[in-house]
């Protein structure tokens, strides 16, 4: 047995102990809650519940302890632990320490379980009589079952030859084979950890995962209540207590998803906020089903209908969260997604599969067996009622979700034994996405948007159970007039220029926009006309307004997205293809090379690559691009964007965009290529000229004059006082194409010696140096002509018009949902106001001001 | 109208939409050889960068032209042309998924998906490699 030097084994041992304790306490608690809901005796029930609550408390504390220890290990760079070695590094700024915990599979499972445990703790603290006698035990049964699974995922104990779960506390020397681990002092060789992936070094990585996982964790609540409904045989009573949770989940999950979009837009070079990537889809699908469920539950509360559908949606929401876990964490998406985790081992995959099946199959069968017992109203409803149209909306959302998940699951089909062969036979090869995968989604989703837009506009004006004749037409008169006027104005003043998919799709975009405007106006007016500005009930309308505003923003900003870094303006590119509709060039010539200090036209802007500068982190480089609007001269239309790249070892790079936001548009720019190869290294020499003021000399591409020599200059570039000893030469270069370039080389003498500050004329590949002073008011000017280009950067630049509508819409939607939540949860006015104010500050900061 | 009828109606509509979707020309995963037999058809290739052949990318002259050679596990080889900028970690990638069409002598690529060992680091081989480098540099 080797005695290793410098290892800190104690935290790991404590951590491992708490993982086991967390697992055992979750199991004990589970047994207690099962016993509690099975016993009819109230006293016994309470005894069991008390017992389980204590056990759950231990579970909660254990999980928090595990998290703290992981944090401690990463913060102290104990690289003897695999998790710290893989995810932390010494150069990592401390704000990213949390991010490196949830970068990995194990850490994100831990994060998920923290939220489950927190939700469980809240459940245990609810003092409502009904809750204590009915809902608490079955709801907690579901939550603790999930916790048992999550703890198994991070257990890391061998059961015969199979390792159950991956421990956060496993040692590096157990995981990586290598001769160095037979040396007692191996730790002294590990200078640094792998660190957080550079793509993820971003403040969104710190806040997005916790919010998204809170959203995911909250989906277990409606599932648990649905189980409780079936178990207690109080089939409809669970809807009321579940409602605030569903709303909370809808708000948080919705925000979490769009935070991912904002992150992708702001700091990843995907060129947008939504790409129908499988990982994005996997988080959207549960949200769509949840929203469907929210509406059927509202119908049930108002009319007693749609209870079965509510059960189905409540169950499927969580099932699809689990399914998305399966998609993103087992490596099954493999070649189709840019963000999926890589595989963490076969055993984990099997466990995740079991996790999904354990919840999905028994619960769906439980529902099926009890379906007949769930009360339903057999009398058919009128079609001119609110519930009728709400139900259609819910159904459309549900089908939209199914459609998305069916397409997203394509990689799964190719790995399903029987299906795989069938597909190969029918399709003549393994199934892959079509040429334009985004359009496949978009053309269906535009139809969904049209229907949803119409329904959100009209449905609120209908009444539950029966709407009096003529009421609807009377109420909707003004919204429809306003919509028609606005739509025509939009069509004339700001037409949609999206011809890529033909006239049919363009018309569909217009129709969808029309209904979005309709829904925005109708919901806005509803708050004033029908609710008489009574804000207590305005949550729903506000959420609908926000949602449709967000979709309208998406339609406009995507359809009229404009590529301004079109390199065909430089005459460099040969067009590849013609657009069938506009007969314009439609080719991906979206990259433009900017040569340092040479102004280049991009759309309405003249862009100059000024300089680059180093960032705080190793290998990070910022490029200063000066944008100047050629049509306007105001201060606002001149700005510097600083997209940056991380240049890693062996010349690989990762790029982060920079965006300038205006009310009407965003200018989005990122570096698509920034690596200067060795060939660009300079071998040219300075050639010295002795010149007097006004004298002229020649260089390779023209001539230059020495305009003046200034003593101790004090201008934009240099700041000298009369006491200094410095001379600056003003030189003008005139190239053959009669362009004038100014250069100001400087020479300075102080106690340290002589210092020369060279100047450059990048456009002419020139370096200019003030070499020295000669007799008779003459100076020596050195000119170096490089044979190769000196510095350049290749950029991509887009304009996203009115993208701010997307973020404002989201904020309004989330705020509306939270207003409803406050209302349904019966929070005191004071508490409710505090919650809402905090939420709106947080949302506005994140989506409008940060970054 | 009865609600059940309506649900059936919407179900049928969804089914029709579904059928329409699947009548879309879904692509296939192909080998380089089989793609060569499907000239001009949109396919997905799973291949590797051929490191013995040169990569051409000259952003000063044309930032939208990249060409390189790809090989697959069955030994097929093709020239690839991509009208876009060079992805940062092309050289480092272990595997690349190329989406595009075979055009006589080259594969006209519309999209490249790189699978890099660095992107998501749960890869033990990569760690082993790094550990070796670190030790040997001492």
Q: What pLDDT score does B122 carry?
A: 45
Please answer yes or no on whether B21 and A440 come within 8 Å at the CB atom: yes
At residue A163, what are phi and psi to the nearest 5 degrees?
-90, 125
Q: Do A399 and B10 touch (CB under 8 A)?
A: yes
> How many residue contacts between A and B have a Cβ separation below 8 Å?
168
- State the average pLDDT over residues B83-92: 81
**A619: exposed, middle or buried (Cβ count in 10 Å: 0-12, 13-18, 19+):** middle
CA A243 to CA A249: how far, in whole Å?
10
Percentage of residues of chain A with pLDDT beyond 90: 41
Mean pLDDT of A419-445: 84
pTM for the model stands at 0.86
Which residues, 6+ apart, have CB-to-CB distance to A732 below 8 Å? A704, A705, A707, A740, A741, A742, A743
How far is it, in rounded angstroms, from Cα A120 to Cα A124? Answer: 6
Higher confidence at residue A211 or residue A578? A211
* Alpha-carbon gap: A711 to the closest alpha carbon of chain B (Å): 39
Question: Which of A222-231, A681-690, A700-709, A773-782 holds the top average pLDDT?
Answer: A222-231
Q: Say which residues have a Cβ less than 8 Å from residue A249's Cβ, sequence separation at least 6.
A: A215, A218, A219, A221, A222, A290
| pLDDT score of A575 | 39
DSSP of A686-734, one letter per residue?
EEEEEEETT-EEEETTEEEEEEEEEES-BSSS-B--TTSEEEEEEEEEE
- Least CA distance to A587: which residue of chain B? B83
Question: Tokens 């049919």 appear where?
Answer: A504
**Which pLDDT score, from 0 to 100, does residue A187 have?**
83
Percent above pLDDT 90 for chain B: 9
Q: Which percentage of chain A shows pLDDT scores above 70?
A: 92
A430 CB neighbours in chain B (<8 A) are: 28-29
User: What number is the average pLDDT over the span A208-222?
Assistant: 96
pLDDT, tens digit, 9 for 90 and up, residues A235-281:
999 999 999 999 999 999 999 999 999 988 887 767 688 989 888 99
Rounded CA separation A803/A17 (Å): 50
Is residue A716 within 8 A of residue A732, CB to CB? The reply is: no
Cβ atoms of A333 and A150 closer than 8 Å: no
Are A591 and B59 contacting, i.e. CB atoms less than 8 angstroms apart? yes
Judged by CB atoms closer than 8 Å, whether chains meet at B62 and A572 is answered as: yes
Q: What pLDDT was estimated at residue A360? A: 95
Cβ count near B9 (within 10 Å)? 12
For A309-319, the pLDDT digits (tens) are 999 999 999 99
- Angle, in degrees to the nearest 10, between helices A136-153 and A346-370: 160
Q: Is the pLDDT of residue A339 over 60?
A: no
Are the beta carbons of B120 and A388 separated by less than 8 Å?
Answer: no
Q: A196 near A85, Cβ under 8 Å?
A: no
Q: Give phi and psi for A246, each to the nearest 5.
A: -60, -40
- Mean pLDDT for all residues in chain A: 86
Residue B54 has pLDDT above 90, yes or no: no
**Range picked from A223-232, A371-380, A640-649 for highest mean pLDDT:** A223-232
- Report, as an integer, the average pLDDT of A293-307: 94
On the question of pLDDT at A234 being above 70, the answer is: yes
Model ipTM value: 0.82
Examine the pLDDT at A570 and tell me if it is beyond 70: no
* Interchain pair B59, A789: CB under 8 A: no
- In tens, the pLDDT along A706-759 reads 988 888 888 766 777 787 888 889 999 888 877 788 888 888 887 667 777 778
Q: Does A356 touch chain B (CB under 8 A)?
A: no
Q: Chain A window 410-469: which residues touch B at a Cβ cutoff of 8 Å?
A: 410, 414, 427-435, 440, 444, 447
Structure tokens at A309: 């559908």
Q: Which residue has the higher pLDDT, A316 or A850?
A: A316
Partners of residue A383 in chain B, C-beta under 8 Å: 1
Of the partner residues B14, B59, B131, the one whose CB lies closest to the CB of residue A178: B131
Say how far residue A396 (Cα) sits from the centre of its chain: 26
* Structure confidence at residue A192 (pLDDT): 80
Residues of chain B in contact with residue A105, where contact means CB-CB under 8 angstroms, are: 122
User: Would the CB atoms of B59 and A593 count as touching at under 8 Å?
Assistant: yes
Q: How far is A434 from chain B (nearest CA, A)?
A: 4
A194-216 per-residue burial string, b: 16 or more CB within 10 A, e: under 16:
bbbbbbbbbbbbbbbbbbbbbbb
- Chain B nearest CA to A388, separation (Å): 8
**What is the set of domains in chain B, with CATH numbers?**
23-122 (2.40.50.140)
- Is the Cβ pair B10, A392 closer than 8 Å? yes
**Integer Cα distance of A542 and A193 in angstroms:** 48
A652–chain B Cβ distance below 8 A for any pair: yes
Across the range A641-648, mean pLDDT stands at: 82
Q: How far apart are CA A99 and CA A106, in angstroms?
A: 13
Which one of A432, A588, A589 makes the best mutation probe of the B interface by having the most chain B beta carbons within 10 Å? A432
Judge contact between A92 and A37, C-beta under 8 A.
Answer: no
* Tokens coding A131: 């809750």
* Spatial separation of the C-alpha atoms in residues A104 and A107, rounded to whole Å: 5
Grouping H, G, I as helix, E, B as strand and the rest as coil, residue B83 is coil
Better-scored residue on pLDDT, A17 or A768: A17
Q: Which residue of B has its CA nearest to A403?
A: B18
Nearest residue of B to residue A85 by CA position? Answer: B127
Q: Does A587 touch chain B (CB under 8 A)?
A: yes
- Does B34 sit within 8 Å of A175, measured CB to CB? no
Cα separation, A333 vs A342, in Å, equals 9
Residues of A in contact with B62 (CB under 8 A): 567, 572-573
Q: CA nearest B6 in A: which residue?
A: A392
Q: What are phi and psi of A717, to 5 degrees?
A: -95, -40
pLDDT tens column, A492-535: 999 998 888 888 899 999 999 999 999 999 999 988 887 776 77
- A706-710 contacts: CB < 8 A, separation 24 or more? A706/A730, A706/A731, A706/A779, A706/A781, A707/A731, A707/A732, A709/A779
- Judge whether A118 is closer than 8 Å to chain B, CB to CB: no
- Region A390-399: what's the mean pLDDT? 92
d(C-alpha A829, C-alpha A482), whole Å: 35
Tokens of A254: 């919705």
Those of residues 770-799 in A touching chain B at CB distance below 8 A are: 789, 792, 794, 796
Q: Do B64 and A567 touch (CB under 8 A)?
A: yes
Give the side-chain half-sphere CA count within 13 A for A611.
Answer: 5
Cβ neighbours of B97 in A, within 8 Å: 335
Evaluate whether A308 touches A315 at the Cβ level (below 8 Å).
no
Are B26 and A380 a contacting pair at CB < 8 A? no
Residues in chain B: 138
Listed in sequence order, the residues at least 6 apart from B72 whose beta carbon sits closer than 8 Å to its beta carbon are: B31, B32, B45, B46, B47, B48
Going by the DSSP 8-state scheme, the letter that residue A206 receives in this structure is H
Q: CA separation (Å) from A17 to A14, A22, A69, A572?
A: 5, 9, 11, 65
pLDDT tens, residue by residue, A61-120: 999 999 999 999 999 999 999 999 888 888 787 888 888 898 888 999 999 999 999 999
**Measuring CA to CA, which residue among A356, A125, A313, A131 is closest to residue A226?**
A313
CB contact under 8 A, B121 and A86: yes
Run of H or E including B135: helix B124-136
- Which of B81, B131, B136, B138 to substitute to test the interface with A, most A CBs within 10 Å? B131
The band of A578, judged by pLDDT with boundaries at 50, 70 and 90, is very low
Cβ–Cβ < 8 Å for A323, A405 = yes
Closest C-alpha among A668, A647, A646, A672 to residue A658: A668
- The residue among B86, B87, B91, B92 whose CA lies nearest residue B126 is B92
For B92, the closest chain A residue by CA position comes to A652
Q: Which of B85, B115, B122 sits opposite A341 (nearest CB)?
A: B122
Whether A655 and A643 have beta carbons less than 8 Å apart is answered as yes
Pairwise CB contact (< 8 Å): A176 & B46? no
From chain B, pick out residues whose CB is under 8 angstroms from the CB of A654. 88-89
* CB-nearest partner of B28 from A430, A567, A650: A430
Cβ–Cβ gap A432/B28 under 8 Å: yes
């Amino acid at each position: 047995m080797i005695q290793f030097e410098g290892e800190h084994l104690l935290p790991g041992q404590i951590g491992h102990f708490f993982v086991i304790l967390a697992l055992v306490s979750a199991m004990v608690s589970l047994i207690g809650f099962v016993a509690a809901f099975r016993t009819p005796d109230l006293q016994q029930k309470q005894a069991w519940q008390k017992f389980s609550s204590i056990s759950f408390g231990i579970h909660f504390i254990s999980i928090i302890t595990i998290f703290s220890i992981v944090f401690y290990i990463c913060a102290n760079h104990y690289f003897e632990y695999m998790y710290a070695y893989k995810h932390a590094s010494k150069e990592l700024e401390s704000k990213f320490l949390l991010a490196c915990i949830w970068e990995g599979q194990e850490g994100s499972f831990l994060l998920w379980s923290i939220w489950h445990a927190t939700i469980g703790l809240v459940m245990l603290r609810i003092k409502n009589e009904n809750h204590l006698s009915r809902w608490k035990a079955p709801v907690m049964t579901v939550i603790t079952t999930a916790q048992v699974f999550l703890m198994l995922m991070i257990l890391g104990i061998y059961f015969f030859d199979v390792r159950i779960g991956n421990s956060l506390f496993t040692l590096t020397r157990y995981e990586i084979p290598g001769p160095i681990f037979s040396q007692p002092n191996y730790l002294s060789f590990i200078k640094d950890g792998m660190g957080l992936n550079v793509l993820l070094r971003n403040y969104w990585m710190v806040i997005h995962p916790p919010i998204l996982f809170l959203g995911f964790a909250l989906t277990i609540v409606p599932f648990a209540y649905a189980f409780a409904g079936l178990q207690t045989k109080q089939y409809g009573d669970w809807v009321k207590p579940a409602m605030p949770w569903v709303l909370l989940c809808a708000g948080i999950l919705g925000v979490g998803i769009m935070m991912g979009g904002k992150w992708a837009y702001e700091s990843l070079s995907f060129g947008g906020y939504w790409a129908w990537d499988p990982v994005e889809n996997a988080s959207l699908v549960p949200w769509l089903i949840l929203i469907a469920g929210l509406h059927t539950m509202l119908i049930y509360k108002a009319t007693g209908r749609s209870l079965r559908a509510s059960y189905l949606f409540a169950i499927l929401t969580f099932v699809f969260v689990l399914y998305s876990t399966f998609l993103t964490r087992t490596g099954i998406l493999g070649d189709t997604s840019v963000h999926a985790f890589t595989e963490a081992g076969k055993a984990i995959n099997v466990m995740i599969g079991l996790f999904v099946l354990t919840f999905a199959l028994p619960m769906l069968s439980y529902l099926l067996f009890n379906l007949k017992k769930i009360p339903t109203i057999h009398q058919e409803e009128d079609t001119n009622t609110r519930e009728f149209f709400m139900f259609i909306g819910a159904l459309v959302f549900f089908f939209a979700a199914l459609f998305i998940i069916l397409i997203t699951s394509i990689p799964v089909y190719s790995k399903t034994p029987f299906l795989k062969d069938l597909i190969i036979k029918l399709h003549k090869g393994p199934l892959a996405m079509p040429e334009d995968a985004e359009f496949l989604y978009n053309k269906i989703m535009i139809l969904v948007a049209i229907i949803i837009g119409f329904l959100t506009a009209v449905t609120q004006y209908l009444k539950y159970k029966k709407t009096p004749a003529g009421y609807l037409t009377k109420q909707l008169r003004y919204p429809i007039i306003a919509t028609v006027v606005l739509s025509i104005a939009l069509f004339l003043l700001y037409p949609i220029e999206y011809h890529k998919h033909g006239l049919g799709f363009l018309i569909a975009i217009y129709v969808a926009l029309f209904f979005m405007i309709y829904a925005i106006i109708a919901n806005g007016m509803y708050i004033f006309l029908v609710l008489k500005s009574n804000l207590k009930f305005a949550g729903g309308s506000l959420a609908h307004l926000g949602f449709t505003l967000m979709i309208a923003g998406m339609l406009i900003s995507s359809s009229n997205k404009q590529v301004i870094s079109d390199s065909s303006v430089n005459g460099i590119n040969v067009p590849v293809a013609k657009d069938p509709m506009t007969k314009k060039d439609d080719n991906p010539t979206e990259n433009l090379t900017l040569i340092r200090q040479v102004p280049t036209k991009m759309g309405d802007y003249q862009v100059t690559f000024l300089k680059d500068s180093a960032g705080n982190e190793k290998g990070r480089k910022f490029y200063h691009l000066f944008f100047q609007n050629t049509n306007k001269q105001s201060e606002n239309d001149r700005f510097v964007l600083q997209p940056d790249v991380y240049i890693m070892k062996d010349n690989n790079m990762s790029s982060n965009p920079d965006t300038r936001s205006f009310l009407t548009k965003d200018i989005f720019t990122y570096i698509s290529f920034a690596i200067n190869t060795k060939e660009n290294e300079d071998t040219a020499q300075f050639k010295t000229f002795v010149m007097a003021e006004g004298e002229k000399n020649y260089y390779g591409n023209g001539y230059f004059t020495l305009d003046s020599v200034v003593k101790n200059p004090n201008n934009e570039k240099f700041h000298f006082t009369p006491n200094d000893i410095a001379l600056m030469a003003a030189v003008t270069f005139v190239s053959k194409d009669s362009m004038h370039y100014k250069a100001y080389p400087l020479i300075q003498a102080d106690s340290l010696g002589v210092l020369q500050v060279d100047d450059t004329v990048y456009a002419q590949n020139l370096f200019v140096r003030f070499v020295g002073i000669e007799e008779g008011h003459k100076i020596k000017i050195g000119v170096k002509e490089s044979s190769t280009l000196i510095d350049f950067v290749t950029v991509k630049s887009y304009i996203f018009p009115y993208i701010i509508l997307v973020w404002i819409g989201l904020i309004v939607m989330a705020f509306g949902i939270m207003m409803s939540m406050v209302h349904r949860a019966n929070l005191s006015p004071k508490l409710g106001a505090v919650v809402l104010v905090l939420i709106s500050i947080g949302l506005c900061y994140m989506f409008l001001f940060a970054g | 109208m009865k609600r059940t009828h309506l649900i059936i109606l919407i179900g049928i509509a969804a089914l029709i939409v579904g059928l329409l979707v699947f009548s879309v020309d879904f692509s296939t995963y192909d080998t380089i050889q089989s793609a060569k037999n499907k000239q001009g058809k949109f396919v997905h290739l799973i291949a590797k960068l051929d490191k013995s052949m040169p990569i051409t990318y000259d952003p000063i002259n044309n930032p939208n032209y990249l060409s390189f050679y790809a090989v697959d596990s069955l030994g097929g080889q093709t020239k690839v042309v991509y009208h876009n900028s060079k992805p940062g970690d092309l050289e480092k990638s272990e595997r690349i998924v190329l989406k595009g069409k075979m055009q006589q002598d080259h594969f006209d690529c519309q999209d490249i998906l790189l699978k890099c060992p660095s992107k998501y680091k749960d890869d033990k081989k990569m760690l082993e490699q790094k550990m070796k480098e670190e030790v040997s540099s001492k």
